[in-house]
Chain A
C-alpha cells in the first residue's frame, strides 16, 4: 500500500474499558457509572431517581446525566473560557474531560497517519511444515478432538470436490466451495459450543458439518428435494438448521452481521451462557451493515464474535480495491472492540483464538473481532472462473504452500495420531457416502406445490390460498406444459 506515513504518529486512546458518558465532576460520574452499569446487566432494573432524568438536547449529556446541581453543562469550545464555572475538581487546561475519558491537549498539529509503520501481527502456532512454533501460546487439544477436526476438514474437502463436480455435470444448479478455508470452518466450529448461534455468510458449511449435519442432509438441500429443511425454497448451499443453531444462509451480503448482534442482544437479555458468531469476507466488511453492526455491538456490549475470512478476493475484487486500511483487524479499534489477527490456515491457532474469544465474549459481555488471513483457493462459485482475473500460479502457490489441511495433517501425523492408511480409508469412505447421498437425493421427490405457499405467513392468507387453487387447476389442465414430476 503506497500511503504517506507520518513519522510522528500520536493516537489518543479515547475509549476506556467501560465506555460511559460522564459528567464533568468525577463524584457524580462514579455513581452514575455504577447505576448505568447495573442497568445494562439486568432485565428489570430499579427505577431511576428523579434527578437523573435525561436532558436530551444538550450536547454530550449522557443517558443518565444529571444537570450537575443546576450548573450548565459545557461544550468543548466553551471549556477553556469558562473554567470558573466548573466544579472544584475540574482539571486545568492540559486535558479535557470529554465523554469517554480524559483527552490531553497538544500545541503540535499532528495528523495521525492512515496506517501504522508495521502491520498488525498475525497469531500463528503451526508453521507451514506443521511444526509447533517455539513458545507458542495455545490451548492444547486432545487426540479425539484433533482427529475429528482433521477428519472433518478432509470430509469438507472431498465434499467440495464432489459437489462441485455434480454441478459441472448439471446435476445441481449451483455450488460454492470452501477450498483453502477448511481450517477456518472446522477449527472455529470446534472451539464453540453447540448452543452458540451461527450466522453464516455462505462459505461456512464446515461449521454445520462439525455440528453433525450429514452428507445426506447437505445433498438434500442442494437438490432442493422434499427432505430439505428449507423445503426447496432456497438456492443451493443456502443451508439452515434450527436444531444445529445455524441460521439459514441469506444471499444478501453481510445482512447476517446485525442479525448476529440482535441475537446476541437477546442472549444478553436472557442471561444465557452462550454467544453468537457471524462470518463474513473481506468484501462483506465494506458494507453498511458491517459498520453499524460492529458499532451497535460495542455500544450494547453483547456477546458476539465477528469472524472475518479475509481471503483476498471478493469475486474478482482484490483487497487492494476493497479497502486501504491494514485489513479488517484495525477496524475493531475504531468501534472499541477487542480484535485479533490470526493465520487462517492454521487450525490450531484458529481454535485457540475462537476458544478465547468465546470466553471473553460471554464472561465480559463484549463483542470480539477476529480477522483470519487466508486465501480463496477455489473460484468464487460455480458461476465464476477466477483464472480470468488472477494468475493460476498464485492459486497454485496457496494451494500447495498454505494449504490448511496439509499443514494440520503434518502436525497430527507427527503426534502419531494419523497415517496414510487411515487417510485413504477416510477419503474413500467419504467419497462413497457422498455418491450414495447424491444418488439418493436426486431420486427423492421435490416439495409439493403446497410448499410454495406455506410459511409465507404462519397461516396462508386468503389471496395465497386462491393463488394456490388457481395454480393447481392450471397444472391439471395443462399437465403437459409443467414438469412431469411436479407434486400437487
Chain B
C-alpha cells in the first residue's frame, strides 16, 4: 500500500483512553481445569508431523483441555486463585502463541512487512527476529501478492509460514494468490501439495485510520473455498487460535482487530490450543441469542449490562470461527432462545452477518419466533471524522433497542 500509517499511534491511543480488562465484560469466567459444569473445549491435537482431523474430541496427554467457556456460577476471584496464570495484553498473547509454536517446530516462520527488527507494526513479532534470525522472521518488500505467493511456495515445500498483512486491507492485493492458489492448490493437485499457511493481520474499523485502513476483509474472503477463517477477540482466544491456526494443515486466515491489541487478561501458564471451528459462549442466557465476533463482542457485552438491568437475559456467543460457522453451538442456542440478533462490523451487503443470517434461516427456521435482526455497518467507506466513524459502527444503544424489539 502506498500509505504507511503510524500504527503505534493507534495502539497507544487506545491504551491511554481505556485499558480494557476483559473481565469487566464477562459476567463470569472460569479458568479452572477440567471444567466443572461448563462444557469443555476441544483441543486440536495434531502434532507437527501428523495430520489432525477437524473436531477431534479429547486431547493428547501433553495438551490440556481447558475451558474457553464462561459459566455463570463460578466467580472470577475463585477461579483465578486456584491457578495463577499470567497477565498480558492481546498482542503479547499473540506473540506468546507464535513464539511457542516457533520454538516447538523449526519449520514455522514469519514473513511480512516490518516484522523483523521493527517487530511488526503492532509489535506482535517483537523480539522474534533477534531470537530466531532474520531468515525465519523475514522482512519483505512491499508486494503483498508476491510475498503471499512466497509463503505459499514455501508451504508447499514443508515450511509453515505465517504471513502478516500489515493491515488486513492490504491483503486485497494478495487476493489472487489467496483465492487462486492458497485456497485451491491442495484441491487441484489432488491432495499432493498442502498449504499450511496462516495469514494474519489487524483489520476492522480503528480510530480514524481512514477508509483504506478500516476494511473488513472477512466479507471478501468468506467465499473462497479451501480456506478457514477465525477471528480472535480476547488474549486467551488470541493465543489459542494462533497456535491452532499454525498447527492446522489448512490455510487459515486469522483476523485480529486494530483496537483490541491492548486488551489485558490473565491467561493460563500451561499450554493450550483452541479449536478453530468452535464458537465461544461468552454469556449464557435465555431470552435472545446474540451472535457476534471480534470488537463487536465488547459492544454487545456493554449492551448486555444495560439489558440485564432492564430485565433481559441475553445469551452472547462469540462465533470466532467465521468459516465454517459453528452451527452446532449456534443451533443449540437458537433452539433455546428462539430469537437471534447478529451484531457485526462488516457492511450490510455481503458481510459475515448476511451469510450467517442465511445459514441460520436455512437450518433453524422452525425454531425462530421472530425474524433475525442483523446489525451491521452501513454500506459506506469508513469516514475519517471521529463522529462519523462512530456512527458507522454498531453502538450499544442500537443493540439494546434491537433486543427490545426482538423480545416484544
Contact = CB atoms under 8 A, between A and B. Distances in A.
A247 B141 contact: no
Contacts of A291: 143
Contact of B54 (A250, A289, A299, A461): A461
A48 B51 CA distance: 37
A250 B188 contact: yes
Interface in A26-44: 39-40, 42-44
Interface stretch (A260-268, A368-376, A475-483): A260-268
Most buried by A among B106, B118, B191: B191
Interface stretch (B64-72, B173-181, B285-293): B173-181
A107 B337 CA distance: 81
B92 interface: no
Given A63-B117, A292-B143, A259 B156 contact: yes
B180 A248 contact: no
Given A233-B187, A248-B189, A288-B143, A456 B226 contact: yes
Interface in B182-213: 184-194
Interface in B213-237: 225-226, 228
Contacts of B249: 458
A265 B140 CA distance: 12
A1 to B, nearest CB: 28
Task: Report the interface size class on chain B.
Answer: 35 or more
Contacts of B99: none
Interface string B143-154: 101111111111
A455 B51 CA distance: 13
A126 B134 CA distance: 45
A288 B190 CA distance: 28
A252 B146 contact: no
Contacts of B140: 296
Contacts of A199: 153
B136 A43 contact: yes
B134 A265 contact: no
A295 B143 contact: yes
A304 to B, nearest CB: 10
A267 B154 CA distance: 9
A150 to B, nearest CB: 30
A462 interface: yes
A300 B138 contact: yes
A120 B357 CA distance: 62
B192 A266 contact: no
B277 interface: yes
Contact of B154 (A257, A265, A293, A295): A265
A44 to B, nearest CB: 6
A230 B187 CA distance: 8
Nearest to B133: A45
Contact of B135 (A54, A263, A269): A269
B381 interface: no
A280 to B, nearest CB: 13
Contacts of B138: 265, 300
A39 B114 CA distance: 17
A47 B134 CA distance: 11
A311 interface: no
B204 to A, nearest CB: 25
Interface stretch (A91-99, A235-243, A326-334, A398-406): A235-243
Contact of B184 (A250, A259, A262, A458): A250
Given A45-B133, A231-B190, A240-B190, A257 B149 contact: yes
A484 interface: no
B185 A248 contact: yes
A247 B193 contact: yes
B135 A262 contact: no
Nearest to B56: A459
Contacts of B189: 229-230, 234, 240, 242, 247-248
A455 B109 contact: no
- Sort A-B residue pairs by CB-CB distance and give the 10 closest, nearest first: A258-B149, A262-B153, A259-B153, A292-B146, A292-B143, A262-B150, A248-B189, A262-B154, A242-B192, A231-B190
Interface of B: 51-54, 106, 109, 114, 116-118, 130-136, 138-141, 143, 145-159, 161, 176-177, 180-181, 184-194, 225-226, 228, 248-250, 277, 324-325, 327-328
24 contacts: A39-B133, A43-B132, A45-B133, A47-B131, A197-B157, A229-B190, A248-B185, A250-B184, A250-B185, A255-B177, A258-B149, A260-B153, A262-B161, A264-B153, A265-B150, A265-B153, A289-B145, A292-B143, A292-B146, A293-B149, A296-B150, A455-B190, A458-B53, A459-B53
Interface of A: 39-40, 42-45, 47-48, 53-54, 56, 63-64, 197, 199, 228-231, 233-234, 238, 240-242, 247-248, 250-252, 255-269, 276, 288-289, 291-293, 295-296, 299-300, 454-459, 461-463
Given A229-B189, A240-B189, A296-B141, 9 more contacts: A242-B189, A255-B149, A257-B149, A258-B145, A259-B150, A261-B150, A263-B157, A458-B248, A463-B324
